[in-house]
Amino acid sequence: MSEVIINDLTVRDIRFPTSIELSGSDAMNVDPDYSAAYVTIHTSDTDLVGHGLTFTIGRGTEVVVLACKALKYLVVGKTLKSLTQDMGATWRMITSDSQLRWIGPEKGVIHLATAAIVNALWDLYAKSEKKPLWKLLVDMTPEELVSCIDFRYITDAITPQEAIHILKSNQDSKNQRVAEMLKDGLPAYTTSAGWLGYSDDKIKTLCREALDQGWNYFKIKVGRDVNDDVRRMRIIREEIGYERKLMVDANQWWDVNEAIEHMKVLSEFKPWWIEEPTSPDDILGHATIAKALAPYGIGVATGEHCANRVMFKQLLQANAIKFCQIDSCRLGGVNEVLSVLLMAKKFNIPVCPHAGGVGLCEYVQHLSLFDYVSVSATLEDRIVEYVDHLHEHFVNPCVIVNGKYVPPTEPGYSITIREQSLNDHEYPNGSVWTRVNQI
């Protein structure tokens, strides 16, 4: 059989008009249109196609599309085997174009594009091995997994040898945890009831629906007005009680001191964590907030806008977070996520991925399953975000039962969008946008 060759990479600007109903609204992002730069890797085997995306919220998606196109030359024309036999070298190659790297490096638009392409390669790899992505990772040896990681800039926090030791310590009990996940599922939390633009009545209705569906973990958006936040948190606590966990997310709205004072007021409602309390780049600011809120039993969570493994390294080293929130495509794809999972394990910080958007839930279920089975080996304080939007557009959407993710079994990274959905939502000429622009 001849080798599979990557013969093209195409990118589409896909947008969903979620701003109409204010789904996804928060203090900083008041009117998001959930969107994606959607990559398709075509191969010489017409039955083998890889997909990947980077989540965006509307305007600017076209910029990420252009960045993906700028990077495509790095993979087109190569064999699949040449790219997958050393995924670490492949990741370093994609992030090391000396001219494109200048507009990062390893952050911003160029890194978002990197994630879309890298994740598409992993989707292709998993499909070629006829395994879901999480199982492909679980089945790798510790040495194979560690070879996927670029340790440049992080060896002062974790070395390849330490990473191998972590993975080896969990080898003998992996199958037991795989069986547990297939039987019980992966614990999740819902953000669907707590968008900032929702009315009080809608929040009450959505909370009651979530309770009926078996949810025990809830998150709401806060930040703009402390009195408004108090009212909304009181409503939710009246609906869900105090036996369930409630988290809050400020989406970068506050200065450091403002975050501390605001959260002291909200502490009466016993929030488990405050997410993105200030600028995502402010490592020391997060550390100051974490120290100030610890006596109130409130942890700091962040990572949704954490650009790379180096920033996560600093957050962990500075004791700035109690919860590590990886994002599947803010980081540079699966390879870089692996490095953060291992650092978090070394620093004994639970990983609770950011999800929602377009495809993020489909992505992160794989990452958290791998984390539990091969890295953390514990579910303590570990939950995965879930938002009930747009899953119907995916060929293999994530499945939630009683507030838990059901492990996917189809080969790949669960990110393939239905062709009709792509055609309808392509911006600006898809039929959905033609109708919206006429309103």
The conformational region for residue 348 under phi > 0 = left, psi -120 to 50 = alpha, else beta, is left
Helices (H), ranges, 267-407: 283-293, 309-317, 334-346, 360-370
User: How many Å apart are CA 118 and CA 96, to the nearest integer?
Assistant: 13
In the chain, the amino acid numbered 420 is Q
Q: If DSSP codes are grouped into helix, strand and coil, which group holds residue 231?
A: helix
Instruction: Please list, in sequence order, all residues whose beta carbon lies within 8 angstroms of the beta carbon of residue 132, skipping any fewer than 6 positions away.
Output: 126, 366, 407, 408, 409, 410, 411, 412, 413, 414
Question: In one letter, which amino acid is 183?
Answer: K
One-letter amino acid for residue 74 of the chain: L
Instruction: Give the pLDDT score at 389.
Output: 86
* Calpha distance 111→41 (Å, rounded): 18
Residue 21 confidence (pLDDT): 79
Contact 21, 431 (CB under 8 A): no
Question: Which residues, in sequence order, are CB contacts of 54 under 8 Å at separation 6+?
Answer: 36, 37, 64, 68, 112, 113, 115, 116, 329
Taking only the tens of pLDDT, the chain with its 439 residues reads: 579 999 999 999 999 999 887 777 777 777 889 999 999 999 999 999 999 999 999 999 999 999 999 999 999 999 999 999 999 999 999 999 999 999 999 999 999 999 999 999 999 999 999 999 999 999 999 999 999 999 999 999 999 999 999 999 999 999 999 999 999 999 999 998 877 888 899 999 999 999 999 999 999 999 989 999 999 999 999 999 999 999 999 999 999 999 999 999 999 999 999 999 999 999 999 999 999 999 999 999 999 999 999 999 999 999 999 999 999 999 999 999 999 999 999 999 999 999 989 999 999 999 999 999 999 999 999 999 999 989 999 999 999 999 999 999 999 999 999 999 999 999 999 999 999 877 6
- Interatomic CA distance for residues 389 and 391, integer angstroms: 6
Count Cβ atoms below 10 Å from residue 439 Cβ, excluding itself: 6
**Residues 6+ away with beta carbon under 8 Å from 340:** 309, 312, 324, 326, 331, 351
How many residues does the structure list for the chain?
Answer: 439
Catalytic member of 286, 354, 366, 404:
354
Is the peptide bond prior to 105 cis by the omega test (within 30 degrees of 0)? yes
What was the pLDDT predicted at 22? 74
Tokens encoding 213: 């569906």
Strand partners, 5: 79
Closest CA to 68 of 17, 119, 32: 119
Domain 165-419 listed as CATH 3.20.20.120: yes
In terms of Cα–Cα distance, which of 426, 409, 408 is closest to 417?
426
174, containing H or E segment: helix 174-184
In terms of Cβ atoms closer than 10 Å to its own Cβ (0-12, 13-18, 19+), residue 202 is middle
For residues 207 and 246, give the distance between their C-alpha atoms in angstroms, rounded to a whole number: 12
Catalytic residue among 107, 111, 219, 221: 221
354 catalytic? Reply is yes
Tokens of 169: 């310590």
- pLDDT for the residue numbered 439: 62
Per DSSP, which regions of 76-191 are E strands? 186-190
Q: Assess contact for 274 and 293: CB atoms under 8 A.
A: yes
111 catalytic residue (yes or no): no
Which secondary structure element, helix H or strand E, spans residue 134, and what is its range? helix 133-138
Question: Sign of the C-alpha dihedral, residues 164, 166, 167, 170?
Answer: positive
Residues 330, 241: Cα–Cα separation, whole Å: 34
